[in-house]
Amino acid sequence: MAVLTPGALRNRIASGDLDPVYLLVGDDEREKDALAAALVETIDEGLRVFNCDRFHGGDVGLDEVLAAARTVPVMVPRRIVIAVRAERMLQPAREGDASRRALDAFENYLATPSPETTLVLLASGLDERRRIAKQLRALAAVVRCGAPEEPAGVRRWIRERLDEGGRRADDTAVRLLSELAGRDMVRLRNALDRLLLFVNVGDTISAADVRETMGPAAPPATDDWAVARAIEQGMTDRALRELGSALDAGAVPHMVLGQLAWVARTKLAAARTAPAIEAVFRTDRALKQSGGEPRVLLERLVVDLCDTATVVKRRRA
C-alpha cells in the first residue's frame, strides 16, 4: 500500500476515509502520538470507552490486540485499536511456538482486516528483512514519522511546526537551528520546545535565541533522556541524580525544561497532564523572572513530575 506523510494521514482523518491498518514508524514519537490521538478523536468522546483500545508492546501480545481488532464497535461505525511499541510484539526478543502462532494469526488478519476497525501500530522501526515487515509494507498504510532527509526539508519542517503554533522565526534562526539539531528528531523537537518556552509569544525567534537555548556546540551526552525516563518510572532519586549530572555537564536549564515539558504533555495519564503542565509553566516563569536558582527550580519540578508519575503507576496497578 501507499507510504503516507503525516500531513496526508491528517487529510484522510479529516475526510473520514480511514484505512483498516496503519503503521506509524520512525523516531518522531511526538508526531506518532499526535496522529494516534487524532484517530481516537474520530470516535465520539462519550463512546470511546467502548470503542478505543490502547496496548503497549511488552505488556501484552498480539493475541490481545487482534481480539480487540475483531471486536464489533458499539453504536459507532468504526473502532480504533492502537498498539504502542509494536515492534516488541512483531519482533519478540524470544521466539517460540506461541509467538510464531501469534504472528501467523496477525498475517492472516492483515490479509483480511476487519472493515469496522482501524488498527494503528506505532513502532520506532522494524527489521526490514523479516517477513512481517514485508507484509506490513504490502498490506498496511505506512506513515513515516521522522526528520526529512535533506537540509531544506528540515528547515521546512521547522517552519511548519512554528506555523502550527502561531510563532515566527527569522531565516537565520531557522537555518542555525537546523544546522545545530540536524536530523536527530529528539534533539530537533527538544530544541524547538526550548525555543518556544524561552521566547515570549509574539516575539520573533532570532539566531541569538537559538544559540542561548542550545548552548555551546559540544558532543551530546551519552544519554540525553535519562531524566525523562526516570520520571516516567516515578524514580525520584534517580531522576534527581540524572538532573544533577546533566547540569554539571553544562546542560542549559531551558533545554532540560523542554524535555520535562515533553514528558508532562505526552507521558502521563490524561487526568495528571494538566497539573504537570501547570508545574512546568510555573518553573518556566520562575526561570525567566529569576525567581530562584535554576537547579533548585528544576529539582522541584522533577519531584512534582515524579510524584505525578508514581500516582499514575499506582492507579494502573
CATH number of the domain where residue 276 is located: 1.20.272.10
Domain boundary among 89, 120, 144: 144
Give the three cell numbers for residue 174.
531557522
In this structure, of 37-51, 71-85, 155-169, 298-312, the range with the lowest mean pLDDT score is 298-312
With 60 as the cut, is the pLDDT of residue 310 above it? no
Residues 41 and 58 in one domain: yes
Residues 91 and 130 in one domain: yes
Residues 154 and 125 in one domain: no
Residues 107 and 48 in one domain: yes
Residues 12 and 43 in one domain: yes
Residues 140 and 187 in one domain: no
CATH code for position 54: 3.40.50.300
Q: Which residue has the higher pLDDT, 288 or 53?
A: 53
With 60 as the cut, is the pLDDT of residue 221 above it? no
Residues 192 and 121 in one domain: no
- What residue numbers bound the domain in which 287 lies? 218-317
Residues 31 and 130 in one domain: yes
Residues 174 and 302 in one domain: no
- Residue 194's pLDDT band, with cuts at 50, 70 and 90, is confident
* Average pLDDT value for the chain: 86
With 70 as the cut, is the pLDDT of residue 273 above it? yes
With 90 as the cut, is the pLDDT of residue 237 above it? no
pLDDT of residue 248: 73
CATH code for position 195: 1.10.8.60
- Residue 167's pLDDT band, with cuts at 50, 70 and 90, is very high
- pLDDT per position as a tens digit, 58-107: 788 899 999 999 999 999 999 999 999 999 899 887 778 888 999 999 99
- pLDDT per position as a tens digit, 94-153: 778 888 999 999 999 999 999 999 999 999 888 888 899 999 999 999 999 887 778 888
CA 7 – CA 31 distance, rounded (Å): 10
pLDDT of residue 68: 96
Residues 184 and 157 in one domain: yes
Spatial contact of 96 and 61, defined as CB atoms under 8 Å apart? no
How many domains does the structure of the chain reveal?
Answer: 3
Residues 238 and 118 in one domain: no
Task: Please state the rounded mean pLDDT for residues 200-219.
Answer: 80
Residues 10 and 124 in one domain: yes
Q: Which residues pair with 169 in a beta bridge?
A: 205
With 90 as the cut, is the pLDDT of residue 173 above it? yes
- Residue 219's pLDDT band, with cuts at 50, 70 and 90, is very low
Domain boundary among 93, 125, 144: 144
Domain boundary among 183, 209, 235: 209
CA 163 – CA 94 distance, rounded (Å): 45
